[in-house]
Amino acid sequence: MTELTAKAFKASAAAGKEKKRESTAGGDYNSLSFFERNRLSGGYLLRKRVTEKGVSIIRAVMLFGMCFMILQPILNKISVSFMTESDLYNPIVISIPEHFTTENYRLAAELMNYSKALSNSFIVSLTIALLQITVCTLVGYGFARFEFPFKKLWFAFVILVILIPPQTIASSLHLHFRFFDILGLFKLTTGKTINLRGSALPYYLMSAGCMGLKNGLYIYMIRQFFRNIPGDLEEAAYVDGCGMLKTFVRIMLPQATPILTSCFLFSFVWQWTDGFYSKMFLGNTKLVSTSLARIVDSLSAYIQRINGVKTTISIAYSNCILATGTLMIIMPLIILYLFAQKAFVESISSTGIKM
Amino acid sequence: MKIARHKYVGLQKRKARAGYMFILPFIIGFLVFMVKPLFQSLYMSFCNVELGAGSFRQTFTGLTNYRFAFLVDPEYNRLVVEEISRMMVYSLAIIVFSFFVALILNQKFHGRAFVRAIFFLPVILSSGVILGLEENNQLMAAIAQTIEQGTSGISITAALENILRTAGVGVRAYETLFEVIDNIYDVAIASGIQIIIFLSGLQSVSSNMYEAADIEGCTKWESLWKITFPMVSSLFLVNWIYTVVDFCMRSDNGVIKKIQTVMIDQQQYGNASAMSWIYFVIVLAFVGVTSMLISKRVYYYD
């Protein structure tokens, strides 16, 4: 209702503006003061201005609150990680440490075997992410661009892979790789099966078969992206005698860079923090994610080794070390995020893939 | 004519073959690493599994494991019911929250890229092991308690709850809502991906429609429900499925924890398989029914 009357006023204001321009020959509408213009528009201008300001203030307050809520745990961890043990118990110290120390970082790094774990994690995450995205791109492209029998069925299986929690098949995968065999060949020739537990090979095999962490999701996203690219380009390539694979590599792949970057970054980050697959398959490799999960236990072992007697560590101190360790693990990710923020957020949202 | 049709069939056949070549990795992976373990774990759930030195033995025991999960185990039933009801409430809250945030982030204002970056940060920070560790962080809980005591329990939800209680409104009517509001942090950190998906949908809505509606005298509120909502309704389905599945697979989920304990610490593979199958079937049924209900209301523009 108000909107409609405002529109009517706007129209009358436009008429008034014309009249005004005629009467004050040469005087421009823009040179009038705001309130004069407001009077001419019948109060519409002021109302509009006030609403806009109000909305933006409310929005700013809300966004500030929510951003603070998300950032607060990190800020808290940063402040705690610089405190000594006595600061943790001091009720006066809330966020700025009284005795500033970097000892926690040194201890956490030693407990997690940080440099070794970091390089291991980096290599594993990078290779796994590359492998997964390569394979998922192929599969996603196949689903998006080709017609073949049972396509719907196979795609339903992709959805099923997204839906099945890996925990459901964890126990049998566990045994599957403990007594690994291909069609009973090894048992036939050597008399026993291979124990692949503890080696990284099973996980690479699974990644090559699109069964890694959240791979169904990547296939789905890449497929949706390729589906939206118009087919003319591809057909032109076929007409010019370009093969299927060559068309894919030379024509389609360069267009898909944004979605591939996003999926690669997702894959890298999720692999970096993943505990489930790492614990199951990469138990012997020191990774940041698994050593973080064990950091409290290693702390108590460490203290015991130093003191020689069994001592219980205070909850506050072990949590402080835990916070420091968490910070050290997410630090590389945050640095990566700062540089690749656009690829993370903007690329997916701006491509406007229809999910 | 005949030759042309023959050629078309040939191209189609070649394309079909190429298509199969492209999805071959998935087919192999699915058959080897999904179908086989899936059936094995289904079979294992009916068996008593004993781990020996060089091999493992399965003896068929019928429904014993299922009976154990439902009737003997003291906490499994309770955990499943609790987690499912928590999942419903939180998934709804996540969907509403992420749609709301996506609507805000889709507007133009200063520092939009920065705010978007912050909202997406939880995707990194709340994944995998970090989430599980965050769960039992007593230091944070202690700080929260100190703050609560320092402000003598004044929070907006507590005050509202008091008002409503004295006004005579039944506690159950708003209990869950306030619980969600109190745990808004959990909701916020779980909705990173959903916000991105909604944003991508919002950006693909053409601005012509809004202009046309505006000229016809449609208010912003009306165009939200009459244009935006139907245009992104298919994303509600996607997000709903993603949220539910994500919630069920999170490492801080009670049932998942329980299964892991039974499998790794107690080495009872049969029981663990039965428990995970019960859970999986319940979740799948839930996802199936709800997505069927949602997909009836989804509007497809093209």
| Domain coordinates in residue numbering, chain A | 2-67, 103-351
Across the interface, of B25, B120, B219, the residue whose CB is closest to A209 is B25
Among all residues of chain A, which has the CA nearest to that of B274? Answer: A168
Local mean pLDDT, 10-residue blocks, chain A (355 residues): 50 50 54 81 84 91 90 86 83 81 87 87 91 92 87 88 78 72 62 66 84 86 83 83 84 84 87 81 77 80 79 77 86 85 64 54
Query: What percent of chain B clears pLDDT 70, i.e. is strictly above it?
Result: 86
Q: Do A350 and B203 touch (CB under 8 A)?
A: yes
Residue carrying the six token digits 């956490």: A108
Question: What residue ranges in chain B does DSSP mark as E strands?
Answer: 47-51, 56-60
How many angstroms separate the CA of residue A167 from the nearest CA in chain B? Answer: 7
**Which one of B124, B184, B202 makes the best mutation probe of the A interface by having the most chain A beta carbons within 10 Å?**
B124
Q: Which residue of A has its CA nearest to B17?
A: A148
**Which of A73, A145, A206 has its CB closest to that of B29?**
A206
According to DSSP, the residues that pair with B58 across neighbouring strands are: B49
Cβ–Cβ below 8 Å for B41 and A167 = no
- Are A244 and B23 inside 8 Å of each other by CB? no
Question: Lowest-confidence range among A45-54, A133-142, B143-152, B239-248?
Answer: B143-152
Q: Please list the residues that pair with B48 across neighbouring strands.
A: B59
Between the ranges A116-125, A335-344, B39-48, B126-135, where is the mean pLDDT highest? A116-125
- Number of structural domains in chain B: 1
DSSP state of B263: I
Residue A319 near residue A154, CB atoms below 8 Å: no
B158 lies in a domain? no
Residues in chain B: 302
For residue A299, give Cα distances in angstroms to A74, A104, A111, B113, B227: 22, 11, 7, 40, 57
Q: If residue A168 lies in a helix (H) or strand (E), which one and from where to where?
A: none
Nearest CB partner across the interface for B37, out of A80, A176, A248? A176
Cβ of A169 within 8 Å of Cβ of B27? The answer is no
The SS3 of residue B266 is coil
d(CA B272, CA B40): 13
**Between residues 171 and 190 of chain B, which touch chain A (CB distance below 8 Å)?**
184-185, 188-189
Confidence of residue B99 (pLDDT cuts 50, 70, 90): very high
Which residue in the set A70, A275, A352 is minimally distant from B119, CB to CB? A70
R_g (Cα) of chain B, nearest Å: 25
Check A352 against B200: CB less than 8 A apart: yes
- A contact test, residue of B118, B139, B240 with most A CBs within 10 A: B139
- Contact between residue A267 and residue A127 where contact means Cβ atoms under 8 Å apart: no
Q: What CATH number is associated with residue B105?
A: 1.10.3720.10
- How close, in Å, is residue B69 to chain A by CA atoms? 15
**Backbone region of residue B168 per phi and psi (left: phi > 0; alpha: psi in -120 to 50; beta: other values):** left
Residues of A in contact with B133 (CB under 8 A): 292-293, 322, 326
pTM over 0.90: no
Retrieve residue A134's tokens: 């390569």
User: Nearest-CA distance from A307 to chain B in Å?
Assistant: 25
SS3 B44: helix
Q: Which of A88, A148, A293 sits opposite B16 (nearest CB)?
A: A148
Provide CB contacts within 8 A for B50, sequence distance 6+.
Answer: B56, B57, B58, B59
Q: Give the one of A148, A319, A344 whose C-beta lies nearest to B120's C-beta.
A: A344
Q: Which are the contacts of B218, defined by CB distance < 8 A and separation ≥ 6?
A: B226
Per the CB < 8 Å rule, is B269 touching A171? yes
pLDDT at residue B118, as a whole number: 86
Q: What is the pLDDT of residue B2?
A: 45
Mutate one of A56, A137, A349 to test the B interface: name it (highest B CB count within 10 A). Answer: A349
The answer to whether the CB of A310 falls within 8 A of the CB of A322 is no
Instruction: For chain B, positions 186-245, list CB contacts with chain A under 8 A.
Output: 188-189, 196-197, 199-201, 203-204, 217, 219, 234-235, 238, 241-242, 245
CA–CA distance, B13 with B5 (Å, rounded to integer) = 12
What is the SS3 assignment for B51?
strand
How far is Cα B257 from Cα B131, in angstroms, rounded to an integer?
A: 13
> End-to-end distance of chain A based on CA atoms, in angstroms?
37
Q: How many helices (H) and strands (E) does chain B have?
A: 17, 2
Q: Residue type for B273, please? A: S
In which domain, by residue range, is B210 found?
74-126+190-302
- A103-351: CATH homologous superfamily? MetI-like (1.10.3720.10)
Q: Which helix (H) or strand (E) holds A186?
A: helix A185-190
Phi and psi at residue A25, to the nearest 5°: -55, 125
For chain B, the straight-line distance linking the first and the last C-alpha, in angstroms and rounded, comes to: 34
Amino acid letter for position B247: F
Chain B partners within 8 Å of A73 (Cβ):
134, 140, 185
Mark yes or no for CB contact A326/B189 under 8 Å.
Answer: no
Q: Which member of B188, B260, B287 has the closest CB to residue A70?
A: B188
Residue at A142: amino acid letter: G
Split at pLDDT 50, 70, 90, the class of B137 is low
Helices A103-112 and A114-145: crossing angle in degrees, nearest 10, is 70
Q: What is the pLDDT of residues B56-79, one digit of tens each?
A: 677 788 788 888 888 888 888 899
Phi, psi of B74 (to 5 degrees): -70, -25
For residue A81, the model assigns a pLDDT of 87
Q: How many residues does chain A have?
A: 355
Note whether B276 contacts A167, CB cutoff 8 Å. yes
State which amino acid sits at residue B232: V
Counted across chains A and B, CB pairs separated by less than 8 A come out at: 270
Closest-approach residue (CA) in chain B for A58: B104
Strand duo B47-51 + B56-60: pairing:
antiparallel
From the candidates B31, B34, B146, which should be mutated to test the interface with A, based on the most A CB atoms within 10 A? B34
Give the Cα separation of B244 and A223 in Å (integer): 22
Question: Two tokens at B83?
Answer: 């987690």
Name the residue in chain B with its Cα closest to that of A8: B217
- Three-state DSSP class for residue A27: coil
User: Nearest-CA residue of chain B relative to A135?
Assistant: B25
B132 in A contact zone (CB under 8 Å): yes
pLDDT (0 to 100) of residue B93: 92
- Looking at per-residue pLDDT, the higher value among A280 and B103 belongs to B103
To the nearest whole Å, the CA of A27 is away from the closest chain B CA by 30
Mean residue pLDDT of chain B comes to 81
Q: Is the dihedral of CA B122, B127, B130, B136 positive or negative?
A: positive
User: For residue A279, with 0-12 CB atoms within 10 Å meaning exposed, 13-18 middle and 19 or more buried, which class applies?
Assistant: middle
Query: Does residue B256 have a pLDDT over 60?
Result: yes
Closest chain B C-alpha to A141 CA, distance in angstroms:
7
Residue whose C-alpha is closest to residue B270's, from B41, B37, B74: B41
B276 interaction partners in chain A (CB closer than 8 Å): 165, 167-168, 170-171
Contact B34 A145 (CB under 8 A): no
- ipTM value, please give it: 0.80
Identify any residues that bridge with A194 across adjacent strands, giving them in sequence order: A180
What does the pLDDT read at residue B9?
67
**B282 within some domain:** yes
Q: Which residues of A touch B145 (CB under 8 A)?
A: none
Give long-range contacts, CB 8 A cutoff, 24+ apart: B52-59.
B54/A192, B55/A179, B56/A175, B56/A178, B56/A179, B56/B269
Domain for residue B296, yes or no?
A: yes
Residue B164 has pLDDT above 60, yes or no: yes
A206 chain-B contacts, CB cut-off 8 A: 29, 33
